[in-house]
Structure 1
């Protein structure tokens, strides 16, 4: 291709302005040599700063030159394209003051202005892409929950419906089979599949696997045949769950990236609800002579419908421009970006920034995968982020939510509900789970990640205890059934805006950018593994400890989760990259001591109504924070002096 030839020529000659900047590390500290450890630390932080803002400190003239050079390097040599990249690169480096650029047309100026004032005003193709991504999330939700109602029937047909130790473990194994596959295989196929097939290709293949596995499940006649089909289903769930949010993020405008990426959690909850709808809708279908029954087969097969629809429409969407960049297909990347933006200037801006960021990432990743894995545990800043991320991902499962998601029909039947009533009550759980996930769009950035977890874990523990203890109310009474349903619903209301969306958002921002892909792979594998543990153990736990003991077990884990978050999970809301380095680069014992002081403060303030000051954050005595605090004080003094001088002149 022309773009590849031009890239080769530019790399063989003298270094361009664009390449010089891309290869230049960004340092935020003095370069005075102290030790090899300090030098390595400065290198890591410099790489992270470069990834945070690769165009920091460049003036408009230099940005314009870099934009023109990139356009020529990419083979986009028409006057219109060069103009777009010259202006786009300037805006990418200084997006706030684009209105002083005389070359902008009135239409371009209007579109750029509307990005701020009407951020939801975008080309229809972008929203079509979000619809398809949301459909993929619904596929995942249905894959997880159609088994909830189907197991009422197939476990009896397969001869594993007794409460013997063997049968309860087999029922749990069938429920957890997809998540076992995700943890040991599916998640780790994501990266090679993305490299080989692209974002669209990975999503398409994953949805094909999901559709075929769902169809396969509906034709099984033995428990081990069902296990194989559901294990294969994990090959569709794992890569799809990791790739779809990435695809949405890479195609979205900067102002909408967070909101559109959060759609995954919301529409997965919607798919969970659809799974319960399918269970209830096919419940009364007669067998029509089908061996071992027909209704549960339709339940299991219904999840293939959204997967087939997603397969039909995924290639209507353009491929991720960023993926094209990784393959040096710059012209294809620009064409794809132009389809997702109103004006070429917007497309050139976002593509130029994406390529600059990609070059910075390649530089940061040059230390090697093995070294980066080691730095997860050898560098304190990374180790503390790892601890916090693993805590929240572990607690997302061990708070007990998927006990209800996978076994709610069995739980309600245990409470005395009829089969139909149990499925209807499960649908109520699905509706609440979806509706109460919507406030997370607002609360996660206003109330804070840590605060949401600290506020919700005690209530989740309380409501699970309430649900479990309600089984001691005499059977057959309205209070017995009503209290159990109420406890489940209240627990879900508290979970959905807290422990549901927070873990993935927290893990995505806790790690430094140069090590984030490895950290997120580990985080995703962790949540799927403990998802499997929960699914496979619950039937046996229910048989051994009864509902009171089972719900009490997970209520106790919510109490433990509260203290783990209190002592080891710092807040990351609205923190810059350098601030996050300061937040995590403190000894864990100091973070734990802060948590203890915070608990005493809240107890004295809220219970005894005492007027006491907030405890100091554990990272506020570091060099960065002292420098920042001193700068703020200096600015405050200067402002007061200026105000006093102005008053004197008047």
Structure 2
């Protein structure tokens, strides 16, 4: 497929055969609304990932859970995510980005209801696995979809809306978990042992909103061009760009990129390999540094260290506020400082926080001032980690791959993310039992140092560069020259 294969694109003047449709809202507002609707999948992602930390404290009132059982319930969603992201990439390349967003919303709804109705630990594990399929699909397709809609100068902040939605979901889950865990009197609506069911049922609300909102989403113009539908792609692009932004020029770049065909062999070729190492490596380190493990097990760790359940859940709520603020700052900074520079400047704060936590827990459970240092360390850790490597993860992954293999490549990025999330989720409590809390935080600190070195050596700067320009740098061997 070549740009001149499309007669309607052969003559520059032919792009102007119909006037841009402006309507009552601006083109930028249309992109923003589409990003918000798709971002509801991120809200569900964060909510379903975060709510399990509070639910684990009360599920045992309904049926017993061993240490292995708790890890299985927490990790089952991650196992489902592996399947979801593996399926979503090829499906999005074949059937489109928008249908995959809709399918994720439907699976979110089924998984939320199934989790709330679970009659045993096995049923709950299965329902969480179904939720994981939706989470994996959403984490694969939504960043790609938003990146393909957004103009280059605003792509960073718009894609980071997905991460903002994720951490907002985590914050909401922390608040609901605290309110429904028996610490707010009348707000514990279902009584002892029933509160965790309502926690899961509430996840169906944004799922229904996402299903309703899909009707207003356009298909990605880059996907349409890749499928040979140049005229339809141009119509969508006109609606998403101001005329002053020269959408005709952008369309020609898109058609040039769409002229290349790609398959799994292309993805593993020498040309694409630097992007594959960067995307999959960043996804790996985002989990090996312990982010989701800390978010999932923080209430359990604090409760075991002598903090009351209420204090542990309030700290989890404080962590939700911290990561939301961190992501808001990331949305502001990512298009100003750049993706690479943001990670290199902020990630050292995570390293300091982890060493602090290792020191605080060195002699066992912290006492008096040590407990406050533990809380401060946890808050600083999530603030810096979620504001750097986790904020840029989905954005960088959605930017660096060629159009012809973008869906498949993002599947591998998300497979890397969820594989290591599954590994860390399954072994965190066991590692704590072997190394202790202090040793576990020290291990995460050393891994985070390795992550900083990897980012310095293997991640290019993509700020203010079009997706097509990034793709061209892979072809001419300058991918890692952009610092």
TM-score interval, normalised by the smaller of the two chains:
0.7 to 0.9
Aligned with residue 371 of structure 1, among 255, 262, 265: 265
* TM superposition shift of 1:455: 3.5
| Cα contact 1:273–1:427 (8 A) shared by 2 | yes
Distance 1:243 1:508, change over 3 A: closer
What is the CA-CA distance between 1:203 and the residue it aligns to?
1.6
Match of 1:310 among 168, 193, 210: 210
- Which residue of the other structure, out of 116, 125, 130, is the alignment partner of 2:35? 130
Residues 204 and 310, structure 1, Cα contact 8 Å, conserved in 2:
yes
Q: 8 Å contact 1:443–1:497 — kept in the other structure?
A: no
Corresponding residue number in structure 1 for 2:304: 414
Change (3 A) 1:195 1:559: closer
- Partner residue, 1:283: 181
The alignment's TM-score, normalised by the length of structure 2, stands at 0.85
Aligned to 2:201, the other structure's residue is in SS state: helix
CA distance in structure 1 between the partners assigned to 2:241 and 2:330 by the alignment: 27
CA–CA separation in structure 1 for the residues paired with 2:49 and 2:350: 22
Q: Distance in 2 between matches of 1:195 and 1:274?
A: 33
Corresponding residue of 2:445: 555
CA distance in 2, matches of 1:225, 1:519: 33
- Tell whether 2:105 aligns with 1:200: no
1:464 aligns with 2:383: no
Mark the structure with the bigger radius of gyration: 1
- 1:263 deviates by 1.1
C-alpha deviation, 1:478, in angstroms:
2.7
The count of residues paired between Structure 1 and Structure 2 equals 471
Q: 1:391-402 to 2 correspondence within 5 Å?
A: 391-402=281-292
Q: Secondary structure at the match of 2:118?
A: coil
Whether 1:19 aligns to 2:9 is no
Aligned residue runs from structure 1 range 216-615, under 5 A: 216-253=114-151, 255-284=153-182, 293-325=193-225, 336=236, 340=240, 350=247, 356-357=252-253, 359-365=255-261, 368-375=262-269, 379=270, 382-472=272-362, 477-511=367-401, 516-569=406-459, 577=470, 581-584=476-479
Deviation of 1:233 after TM superposition, in Å, equals 0.9
Q: Tell me the TM-score normalized by structure 1.
A: 0.64
* Structure 1 residue 255, shift from structure 2 partner: 4.4
Q: Is the Cα–Cα contact under 8 Å of residues 448 and 571 in structure 1 kept in the other structure?
A: yes
Q: Distance in 2 between matches of 1:336 and 1:138?
A: 26
- Note the 1:162-173 alignment, pairs <5 A: 167-173=66-72
Q: 1:330 to 1:433 in 2, by over 3 A?
A: same
* 1:112-151, Cα deviation, whole Å (9 max, x unpaired): xxxxxxxx95475444323312322211110110111000
Judged with a 3 Å threshold, the aligned counterparts in structure 2 of structure 1 residues 121 and 286 are, in CA distance, closer, same or farther, namely closer
**Residues 496 and 395 of structure 1, relative CA distance in 2, 3 Å threshold:** same
Aligned partners of 1:455 and 1:340: how far apart in 2?
33
Superposed displacement of residue 256, structure 1: 3.2
Given the alignment, which residue of 40, 49, 52 partners 1:144?
A: 49
| Alignment root-mean-square deviation, CA | 3.5
Structure 1 pair 579–253 and aligned structure 2 pair: CA distance change class (3 A): closer
Equivalent-residue separation in structure 2 for 1:195 and 1:451 (angstroms): 31
What SS does the corresponding residue of 1:439 show, helix, strand or coil?
helix
- Give CA-to-partner distance per residue, 1:341-376, whole Å, 9 cap, x none: 67xx579x63x55764554344321xx52431441x
Q: Distance in 1 between matches of 2:378 and 2:345?
A: 18
Q: For structure 2, which runs of at least 5 residues remain unmatched after alignment? A: none
Q: Does structure 1 retain, via aligned residues, the 8 Å contact 2:42–2:163?
A: yes
CA change 1:361–1:441 in 2 (3 A) is same
Alpha carbons of 1:281 and 1:252: their partners in 2 closer, same or farther (altered >3 Å)? same
Kindly state the Cα deviation for residue 440 of structure 1 after the two structures are TM-superposed. 1.9
**Change in 2 beyond 3 A, CA 1:557/1:255:** closer
